[in-house]
């Protein structure tokens, strides 16, 4: 499955959602999560994210492994999102802060 990690926080660009051929993304106030039961591992979202927040689970660094469980649990809790939203205020500032 694919996993949304640290960098998706306070920007919510949702280009990932627009790239997704299934409805695997779920959204809250600050970020998105991927439902591992729905993701078809197409990888379209990886290059779509301006802050490089999404990884294939086997490519996750050791300190990012916890995001596998967090995505699975949060996807049950938050509503599905099927279309792109306007990024959050401050998204571009945050992106610059990350050096991206």
Query: Which parts of this chain interact with ligand F3S (CB under 6 A)?
Result: 4, 8, 11-16, 31-32, 48-49, 51, 53-54
Going from the C-alpha of 58 to that of each of 48, 62, 63, 68, 94, the distances in angstroms are 19, 10, 13, 10, 27
Which one, 4 or 39, has the nearer CB to ligand F3S?
4
15 three-state secondary structure: helix
Distance CA 18, CA 23 (A): 10
- Do 41 and 56 contact (CB within 8 A), yes or no? yes
Q: Supply the minimum distance, in Å, between the C-beta of residue 13 and ligand F3S.
A: 4
Q: Supply the minimum distance, in Å, between the C-beta of residue 63 and ligand F3S.
A: 18
Which one, 6 or 73, has the nearer CB to ligand F3S?
6
Q: Supply the minimum distance, in Å, between the C-beta of residue 43 and ligand F3S.
A: 13
Which one, 47 or 62, has the nearer CB to ligand F3S?
47
Which one, 37 or 47, has the nearer CB to ligand F3S?
47
The DSSP element (H or E) to which 71 belongs, if any, is helix 66-77
């Amino acid at each position: 499955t694919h996993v949304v990690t640290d960098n998706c926080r306070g920007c919510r660009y949702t280009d990932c959602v627009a790239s997704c051929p299934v409805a695997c993304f779920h959204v809250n106030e600050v970020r998105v999560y991927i439902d591992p039961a729905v993701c078809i591992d197409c990888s379209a979202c990886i290059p779509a994210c301006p802050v490089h927040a999404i990884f294939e689970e086997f490519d996750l660094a050791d300190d990012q492994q916890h995001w596998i469980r967090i995505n699975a649990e949060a996807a049950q809790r938050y509503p599905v999102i099927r279309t792109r939203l306007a990024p959050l205020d401050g998204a571009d500032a945050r992106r610059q802060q990350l050096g991206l």
